[in-house]
Amino acid sequence: MSEIIYGRNAVKEALENGRVEKIIALANHEFLKLAEERKIPFEVVNRARLDKLTRSGNHQGVLAYAKEFHLSTVEEMLKKENGLIVVLDGIQDVHNLGAIIRTCECAGADGLIYKKHGSAHLNDTVSKVACGALEYLKVAEVANVVNTLKKLKEAGYWIVGSSGYAKQSYDDLNYDFNTVLVIGSESDGMSRLVTEECDYTVKLPLQGKTESLNASVSAGILIYEVLEKRGIKAK
């Protein structure tokens, strides 16, 4: 079953991965030449048609029908040391999901896990916001986050949850262990049962009057703190 993706980066990376089945673009768009070179079917349409197909998304003049994205398993993400997995406990906003996927891939995380029910799922908007990162990051859907965290503990991971109620600052930990970072929902944070599975809960310092940071921003800060503590520098 095909899925729609749009935007230059998302289509380009899907094209490189061999997932693209057909390209639809504005006249004279650069991707029409790529489609012709790679013998991929293509169609030239006007902007109104692209706007309709992408629900007026920021399509940048190109859309593709692609083979369905292959979800990974949790087991495929496991490492013996320096592991880093991000778990989302009820993220609702597809833009947050896409942004977190992009950050995870850029930071070299081993995978991202979200729950199958009651949260945002992969779709064309997520793919666009992720800017092609979805093609390279392992992503898994799970039925039960609590059970998944238990299994990750058994596999040698320590669970670090982000919570505004935590007493420990996010930069107090060394993260010198296989780490699972848990990011809660935008409105309610982590659920009680998920919080109970955490080995550590940490918070980000807030100096202003706003009660919390955006979920994707919090995830980015935490992910890069892990890299910093592990001494991973820019190439």
Beta strands in the chain (DSSP E): 2-6, 20-25, 42-44, 62-67, 84-89, 111-115, 139-142, 158-162, 168-169, 179-184, 200-203
CA dihedral 49, 97, 122, 181 (to 10 degrees): 170
3-state SS class at 42? strand
- Residues 29 and 222: their CA atoms lie apart, in Å, by 39
Tell me the backbone φ, ψ of residue 3, rounded to 5 degrees. Answer: -130, 155
Q: What is the pLDDT of residue 8?
A: 96
Q: What is the pLDDT of residue 203?
A: 95
Q: What is the pLDDT of residue 211?
A: 79
Q: What is the pLDDT of residue 146?
A: 98
Q: What is the pLDDT of residue 212?
A: 82
Q: What is the pLDDT of residue 1?
A: 63
- Residues 60 and 146: their CA atoms lie apart, in Å, by 40
Q: Which residues pair with 44 in a beta bridge?
A: 25
pLDDT along the chain (235 residues), means of 10: 91 96 96 96 97 91 95 97 97 97 98 96 95 97 98 98 95 97 95 98 91 93 97 84
Q: In angstroms, what is the C-alpha Rg of the chain? A: 19
- Residues 133 and 230: their CA atoms lie apart, in Å, by 23
Domains of the chain: 2-67 (3.30.1330.30), 74-229 (3.40.1280.10)
34-41-130 Cα angle (round to 5): 60
Q: Which residues pair with 181 in a beta bridge?
A: 86, 160
Q: Which residues pair with 140 in a beta bridge?
A: 113
- Residues 224 and 218: their CA atoms lie apart, in Å, by 10
Q: What is the pLDDT of residue 234?
A: 78
Q: What is the pLDDT of residue 209?
A: 83
pTM metric for this prediction:
0.94
79-81-83 Cα angle (round to 5): 55
Q: What is the pLDDT of residue 235?
A: 72
